[in-house]
Structure 1
């Protein structure tokens, strides 16, 4: 027999399964549902609430993913005891990833739909050296809705943005060439450059973007073929280039004939995001054949990293070289993977409540930084916080690691000005997130109150 528990969902908002999941979580937190209690059978609860069995199944899956319940095959779903595997789990504020909200159900839907289409599966199981046109069209329509103008044939799929970076450098540069990039930038660009024997020359960052004078000087001195930048949300500093910066950088690349590799992977809230340099060039009346910007993005920071769906927008001039570089690495991009990605972005519930969750968590982090009196900048999933001496960044990183909380040291990005980077997406449950954020705040406050912080 299952527990006689019938929640009232009217006080909750969002999709029905999320309302049910939150109601159950609240009942568990308030001890209305005790540890090891069996939840109602799914069909019985569905009938009592007037919803489908699938709605209850989704809600129970969310609860299990968030650590509230566990399932026993053939026995049912039970409330997890507080002394669980999640108690001593490392909480990852170090890796930039979106919080888990409805991704499991959206991906499950996509896989279920595809499993019921044997003819489509047969087609996808074959070799396809070129992207399927229907996949390009779906992504093109999705990008148009986001305000990014392009043609479907300009889309080149990759297995994640890192492969996109490697393919562009491999296709357009040679060993011994110099790549210009932002100072303190994403470490993956260094990994790719070292592998290809490419030299990196960093450009100093200001609060508005690149130091334009230094950029032009280094273009003249090194005659680079490619400039790698992240204008919408610089990693790790969260700097966003203003419009005049973007226009000036585009003008310089045209003047000296180099290519911008514009990385727009890092997530921004809709209120934070701005049209990329790619779109500025595409919309320029002075450019009949735009060919100075390659746009890079993926679903990793907006949906999940495990899907490994990246994509490039490539001018016709460079398409063949970049496709050849991809073929040299893996011959073809999995059409099965891209099919799932297409079904995911077509789902009306693709984002669910994720934007709201990110905005709420970001605000909580900002308020923490304000209470601690820290210089900080937040955008999307990341925060860049400068600690006040004598407290050192490595003291905080080490102390938090001892409490099973991971954060990034600014030194990891070759920045030695006493910064840490916090990423807000790992904790699946808001309650856990708030608890761990309180530990971070208490740790920084405690260490700051000693004359010499020693860990």
Structure 2
């Protein structure tokens, strides 16, 4: 039994006792889940009242050192377990999640720790990031993003065309709010980011599908839908399409820009999906900056919890977009922006991108080994579009997998309106936490496909 030594200590006895117990825990003398002596026995050993021991134990609980268990006693808190419980998702279905499209947490924790430590020693920065601003934000943040984008794309971009957002999804919502009204038609790729489809429905915008093939959006159908619906906006993901992974061909990029100019349609270029450094191509906004709203995000390039994105806008749209942003959230948290800008400035963003790229290449090797006949992708992002046997509906297949604890996205999730649904599922290779978990999930899928082919 641990008996604290309080000889020579000054101050209220209950606080002295609490200090000695806490020091023993810090030194490791009292291990997690160790039961403290009963109050009555300890009061006898130390020659103090039971009330003093009671107050000491209450003080330890207040400090987070111990936890009382009814009918059992007081125990040293297992802080690791407590943290795991505290930070556990409220909604967690377990199993192997190949739905979740996210960057894996590799070296980001180290970069976060370093940036927070730097911020601790900068009182001017602390004061600034805790203040209240309008949508313009802080000069240094805007300049940092401007410099980074100019270096990344070899642009000569003016900072007045930039706007921070809370990630790509928030940017899309702000664009719809600023530039369209209830009942307006918006052209979307026939298979499209599912949450944008939901956003259109919630804001009472009419989502109109445009046909796609293996080269991306089909220009002839785009022209036809422009004639029929006179849309205000066209949304597309030209660099790496979600969910199919197709890249829009160069010839089609020029045709699409020409059609949008002809029908006075603005282009929303969603470029938030991760694309490996050696596979990047110039965005549409570099070709048609006057009609293109470019959306980027660090949620797919650094960490999902970093809900920070940005827009590159035609200058004429800046006032309307700022007003919509103020209506939406007033301004993006300067604390989040400061962390992102530190990572942009000190090279952490590029280092993490390289770490993600290495891990992703390893996961593609696992996938192609498991599915050797699958067509090699020209652009290898987080997701793979996998076609199923003709007799197997993707929704049925998804539900059967879910019963075994493996979760994927079926094609219906990405369907715009009544667009024809291909018999395919989307797998996120970065959803599983480990490569072994990915192998297990892919094996389940491979076995399930084989079973359907035998029917």
- Aligned equivalent of 2:452: 448
Residue-by-residue CA offset, 1:104-136 (whole Å, 9 max, x unaligned): 111222222222222211111111111212111
Q: Which residue matches 2:239? A: 232
Q: Is the partner of 1:306 in helix, strand or coil? A: coil
State the partner residue of 2:405: 404
* 71, 96, 99: which one aligns with 1:94: 99
Whether 2:140 is the aligned partner of 1:134: answer yes
Counterpart for residue 358 of structure 1:
360
Query: Post-superposition shift, 1:73?
Result: 8.2
Aligned equivalent of 2:255: 248
Aligned to 1:389: 390
Match of 2:320 in 1: 321
Mapped contact 1:376–1:383 kept (Cα < 8 A): no
Q: 1:434 aligns with which of 429, 433, 439?
A: 439
Conserved? CA contact 1:264–1:296, under 8 Å:
yes
Question: What's the CA shift string for 1:211-236, capped at 9, x where partnerless?
Answer: 11111122122221111110011111
1:75 deviates by 10
Number of the residue aligned with 1:170: 177
Partners of 2:389 and 2:453 within 8 A in 1? no
TM-score of the two chains, using structure 2 as the length reference: 0.74
TM superposition shift of 1:148: 5.4
Q: Give the match for residue 26 of structure 1.
A: none
CA gap of 1:277–1:390, structure 2 versus 1, over 3 A, is same
- Aligned pairs for 1:275-314 (under 5 A) are 275-281=282-288, 290-314=289-313
Report how far residue 255 of structure 1 moved. 2.0
Q: Provide closer, same or farther for how the CA distance between residues 364 and 136 of structure 1 changes in structure 2, counting only shifts above 3 A.
A: same
Residues 106 and 347, structure 1, Cα contact 8 Å, conserved in 2: no
CA separation of 1:73 and 1:205: change in aligned 2, threshold 3 A: same
SS state of the match for residue 271, structure 1?
helix
Deviations 1:186-231 (A, max 9, x none): 1122222222221111100111121111111221222211111100
What is the distance in 1 between the residues matched to 2:361 and 2:346?
22
2:128 to 110, 123, 129: 123
Q: 1:16 is matched with which residue?
A: none
Q: Determine whether 1:199 maps to 2:206.
A: yes
CA drift at 1:174? 1.3
Contact between 1:269 and 1:359, CA under 8 Å: does it hold in 2? Answer: no
Contact 1:185 1:413 (C-alpha < 8 Å) held by counterparts? yes
DSSP 3-state at the match of 1:305: coil
Q: TM-score, normalised by structure 1?
A: 0.74
Q: Judge conservation of contact 2:368–2:374 (CA < 8 Å) in 1.
A: no
1:297 is paired with a residue of what secondary structure?
A: strand
- For 1:339, the equivalent position in structure 2 comes to 338
Written as runs of structure 1 = structure 2, the 5 A alignment for 1:8-19 is none
- Equivalent residue, structure 1, for 2:113: 108
Go from structure 1 to structure 2 and tell me whether the alpha carbon gap of 1:106 and 1:91 turns closer, same or farther (over 3 Å shift). farther
**What SS class does the counterpart of residue 176 from structure 2 fall into?**
helix
Q: Distance in 2 between matches of 1:152 and 1:280?
A: 18
In structure 2, relative to structure 1, the CA distance for the partners of 1:127 and 1:269 (3 Å cut) is same
Kept in 2, the 8 Å contact 1:299–1:310? The answer is yes
Alignment partner, residue 34 of structure 2: none
CA 1:381/1:159 → structure 2, altered by over 3 Å: closer, same or farther?
A: same
**Structure 1 pair 402–74 and aligned structure 2 pair: CA distance change class (3 A):** closer
Where does the alignment leave 5 or more consecutive residues of structure 1 unmatched? 1-71, 78-87, 282-289
Residue 252 of structure 1: how far off its partner (Å): 1.6
**CA-CA distance at 1:363 after TM superposition:** 3.0
Q: What SS does the aligned partner of 1:253 have?
A: helix
* TM-superposition CA deviations, 1:242-270 (whole Å, max 9, x none): 11111111122222222101000111112
For residues 435 and 117 of structure 2, the distance between their equivalents in structure 1, rounded to whole angstroms, comes to: 29
Instruction: Specify which of 169, 182, 192 is matched with residue 185 of structure 1.
Output: 192
C-alpha offsets along residues 346-395 of structure 1, whole Å, 9 cap, x if unaligned?
A: 3434334211111221232133222xx45685631010011112233234
Alignment partner, residue 275 of structure 2: 268
* 1:95 counterpart SS class: coil
Please name the residue that 1:32 is paired with. Answer: none
Rounded to whole Å, the distance in 1 between the matches of 2:195 and 2:259 is: 25
- Quick check: 269-278 or 318-327, which moved more? 269-278
Q: Describe the SS at the equivalent of 2:187.
A: strand
- In 2 relative to 1, CA 75–305 (structure 1 residues): closer, same or farther, beyond 3 Å? closer
Q: How many matched pairs?
A: 361
Structure 1's 127 and 432: CA in aligned 2 closer, same or farther, altered over 3 A? same
Rounded to whole Å, the distance in 1 between the matches of 2:412 and 2:371 is 20
